[in-house]
Chain A
Amino acid sequence: MSVLAGREAAGGAPEPGDLLEGTEWVAAPPSARSRARPAFGAALRIAAPPLLAAALALTLWEAWVRAFEVREYLVPAPSAVLRALAADPARYLGAARVTLAHALGGLAVGAGSAFLLAVVMAHSRPLERALYPLAILVKVTPVVAVAPLFLIWFGFNAWPKVLVAALITFFPMLVNAVTGLRSVEPAAFDFLRALDASRWQLFWKLRLPSSLPYVLAALRISVPLAVIGAVVAEWFAADTGVGQIIVIANGELDTPTLFAAVLVLALIGVTLTLAIAYIEHRVLFWHESSTGV
């Protein structure tokens, strides 16, 4: 699909002026100014201020803990957290991989089913009215209350984690996808209808691409939620993942490990959010969020 064709095809950013006089005038594009990709230097300029701020905060934290001899089980120094990480990196890496799989699995199940339901709801107002209250019911149910139930139903395996993560990502995708699938431009819709385009053609050629800005926004919201859902379920089951590390460390008052687990979760969240931002940038080159109109 041309959505995925990327920016290269466009070449440069032209600014075709007003139409000139003359009926046979053939417009020539202006010399293409290269649309430079953000180079390494530019990336560094963007990343440097937050990195510096974080370094400063960590230094102050370390100094504070050392100067006032703060007890480790209350607030460990950053160096203690690093030691905890370094003591058994394979444990954190393995747990991170499991939690990531639960979160992504939940995202696939939750956001995927929500999108399919949104397709149905976007095509039928009666169905939308019938199903919307149920969707809101799912939304207002706290996952913390559902997680133990899922554990009883599905047992000590990946399913409770995936399903809790799915539950929490369901609603944002549903509302955004319904809105997105309805956000077709009327003129484009009329043009296709005047050509007697089928529902199927309208969906593939117009509705689906039109919904992408909304769908990707929903993914951006859902990614951190999926991680929360996965960890909450792991916490209840206490059998795998970063959630398990948290439960065990909590029981032993091992605060450095607790902090290390939190750090791992934060890194997962940041990585996933950056991945979505990258996909948005690539796919939505045509959208006003990217063109800066």
Chain B
Amino acid sequence: MTTVIGVPAVRVRGLSHRYRGDGGPLLALAGVELEVGAGEFVALVGPSGCGKSTLLRVVAGLLEVSGGAVDVLAGSATAARAGHRVGLVTQEPGLLPWRTVAGNIALPLEVTGARADVDALLARVGIAAFARYHPHELSGGMRQRVALARALAHGPRLLLMDEPFGSLDEFAREAMGRELLRIWERDRVSVLFVTHSIREAVLLADRVLVMSAAPGRIVAELPVHLPRPRPRALDETPEFAALLHRVREALGGAP
């Protein structure tokens, strides 16, 4: 494990989680160790059903764990949640269809009492012209931009993303990845990014954690030493190909 300097945004130690299934308890996570440094972008890849989303929900304070220690922003996950210091983006954007784009971005401000310039947030994710549209009038990529702006609205220090671009087509996915990096490079909020795309993980993250399935645990950790801001043709370089190969090997080697 890489030791992160300073207070980490997320520190997970010996985390295990059991679901009470109909066919007896199911061990979803077993001894997960994980750290996300302040301002670090960490990607979590693994096969479907390996517990990536469960892990993210635990960090978000949405799920009580069966065992282990979870620190989020130097406190408990619940405290981080109560302090409104976490932003969440999921695969389904979960926008409120009866609200306009601007209304959706104002939602976290209403809930937390935080103040922010909604127009500036819209401009930041490149959707200023769509402020008064409703979600059903937007494309999938646009909706995810709104979801991203909404997750950032109340000024969180940690962004949790659960396959945020998973239901987008290839083009929108790439564009959204670049968009995310552009925003992240300015603010440097800590990011824990769950994906099943190895390419996406290597393209975006400072560090890639590889998870294995049944029970979920982290089997490999690969630092990504690629230049930032990430150049456009990065995925054509041999360094990128080598990293991709190593992540694939780690995934394949997982028992």
Contacts and interface: CB of A to CB of B under 8 A. Distances in A.
A197 B111 contact: yes
Most buried by B among A3, A21, A188, A191: A191
B82 interface: yes
Interface stretch (A25-33, A165-173, A243-251): A25-33
Interface string B61-92: 11000000000000000000110101110111
Interface in A189-209: 189-197, 201, 205-206, 209
Most buried by B among A13, A28, A185: A185
A10 to B, nearest CB: 6
12 contacts: A2-B100, A9-B132, A10-B133, A10-B137, A14-B137, A16-B137, A20-B175, A29-B129, A190-B57, A194-B60, A209-B98, A212-B98
Nearest to B96: A188
A97 interface: no
A162 B61 CA distance: 49
Contacts of B135: 286
Contacts of B94: 185-191
Interface stretch (B42-50, B102-110, B205-213): B102-110
A150 B132 CA distance: 52
A18 B141 contact: yes
A10 B132 CA distance: 6
Most buried by B among A3, A10, A286: A286
A291 interface: yes
B99 interface: yes
Interface of B: 57, 60-62, 81-82, 84, 86-88, 90-100, 103, 107-108, 110-112, 123, 126-130, 132-139, 141-142, 150-151, 154, 160, 169, 171-172, 175-176, 178-179, 182
Most buried by B among A16, A28, A209: A16
A113 B100 CA distance: 31
Given A11-B132, A27-B142, A205 B110 contact: yes
Nearest to B183: A23
A205 B129 contact: no
Given A2-B98, A26-B128, A19 B171 contact: yes
A134 interface: no
A39 interface: no
B139 to A, nearest CB: 5
A184 B94 CA distance: 10
A192 B111 contact: yes
B132 A195 contact: no
A17 interface: yes
Interface string A269-289: 000000000000000011110
Contact of A286 (B57, B136, B151, B172): B136
B92 A185 contact: yes
A209 B96 CA distance: 9
A19 B141 contact: yes
A293 interface: yes
A206 B133 CA distance: 19
Nearest to B132: A9
Contacts of A11: 132-133
A250 to B, nearest CB: 48
A10 B128 CA distance: 14
Contacts of B128: 26
Given A10-B134, A29-B130, A191-B150, 18 more contacts: A16-B139, A18-B171, A19-B176, A21-B175, A26-B123, A26-B129, A27-B126, A188-B94, A190-B88, A191-B94, A191-B151, A194-B61, A194-B87, A195-B154, A205-B111, A285-B134, A286-B97, A288-B136
Interface in A205-263: 205-206, 209, 212
A212 B98 CA distance: 11
B232 to A, nearest CB: 9
Contact of B82 (A18, A21, A187, A196): A196
A291 B60 CA distance: 34
Interface in A1-55: 2-3, 5, 9-11, 13-14, 16-21, 23-29
Contacts of A187: 90-94
A185 B96 CA distance: 9
